[in-house]
């Protein structure tokens, strides 16, 4: 699914949320890790990040009908909500939970399994840092192919180069990531 298709799908999920709760659940599943990692990087506290993530999605659910799709993807709107939730919590010295209370959601209690999940997402942070450190041409190719699962032809059109150049960039990018992670050096992509 390309970026434009993903943005349209997200916008549709948000529009459908009021009458179809499963639509918001799909939106939540699609973006939970991004929001959690965003907040974890800013708080360095897994329990606090999880609590802020819950409030972020509660506020998103309450304002889903007001979302208007545009050039920025829905995840940008969601990160904006997360920034506001974090800022409000810092100002007040506590995690705000007004949206969750309005929705009748129970307080968040993290068990060992939930904390392990947060730690797993935090562990993915190393990979995100390594991908971000790749040269732009390699990073763009790897993200398009591996993260967004786009085919080589579409990537080549976007990057204005041949499919073989894209394949080589993906291969070189993955080889660098494996090298940084201490893995094998096989260059198949």
The tens digit of pLDDT for each residue in 13-72 reads 888 888 888 888 899 888 888 888 888 888 877 778 888 888 899 889 888 888 887 777
Query: What mean pLDDT, rounded, does the chain reach?
Result: 78
Q: What is the pLDDT of residue 82?
A: 92
CATH entry 1.10.10 includes domain 134-189: yes
Distances (CA, A) of 184 to 23, 62, 78, 171, 174: 40, 47, 37, 13, 11
Domain ranges of the chain: 3-124, 134-189
Q: Do domains 3-124 and 134-189 have the same CATH topology?
A: no
* String of DSSP letters for 89-110: HHHHTS---HHHHHTTPPPP--
148-181 burial string, b = 16+ CB within 10 Å, else e? Answer: eebebeebbeeeeeeeebbbbbbbbbbbbbeeee
Q: What is the pLDDT of residue 168?
A: 92
* pLDDT for residue 148 is more than 90: no
Average pLDDT over residues 147-156: 84
The whole-model pTM stands at 0.53
User: What whole-number distance in Å separates Cα of residue 62 and Cα of residue 58?
Assistant: 6
3-state helix, strand, coil in the chain (%, to 5): 75, 0, 25
Q: Which two tokens stand for residue 96?
A: 């705000």
Q: What is the pLDDT of residue 97?
A: 61
H runs (alpha helix) in 134-162: 136-142, 152-159
User: What whole-number distance in Å separates Cα of residue 141 and Cα of residue 15?
Assistant: 32
Domain range 3-124, its CATH number among 2.30.110.10, 1.10.1740.10, 3.40.50.300, 3.30.70.100: 1.10.1740.10
């Amino acid at each position: 699914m390309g970026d434009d298709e993903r943005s349209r799908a997200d916008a549709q999920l948000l529009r459908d949320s009021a009458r179809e709760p499963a639509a918001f659940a799909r939106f939540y599943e699609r973006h939970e890790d991004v929001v959690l990692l965003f907040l974890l990087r800013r708080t360095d506290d897994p329990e606090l990040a999880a609590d802020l993530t819950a409030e972020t999605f509660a506020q998103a659910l309450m304002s889903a009908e007001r979302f208007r799709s545009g050039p920025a993807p829905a995840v940008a709107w969601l990160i904006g909500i997360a920034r506001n939730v974090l800022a409000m919590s810092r100002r007040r010295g506590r995690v705000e939970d007004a949206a969750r209370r309005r929705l009748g959601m129970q307080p968040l209690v993290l068990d060992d399994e939930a904390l392990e999940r947060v730690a797993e997402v935090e562990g993915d942070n190393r990979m995100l840092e390594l991908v971000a450190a790749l040269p732009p041409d390699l990073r763009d190719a790897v993200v398009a192919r591996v993260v967004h699962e786009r085919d080589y032809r579409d990537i080549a059109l976007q990057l204005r180069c041949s499919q073989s150049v894209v394949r080589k960039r993906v291969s070189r990018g993955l080889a660098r990531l494996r090298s940084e992670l201490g893995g094998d050096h096989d260059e198949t992509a």
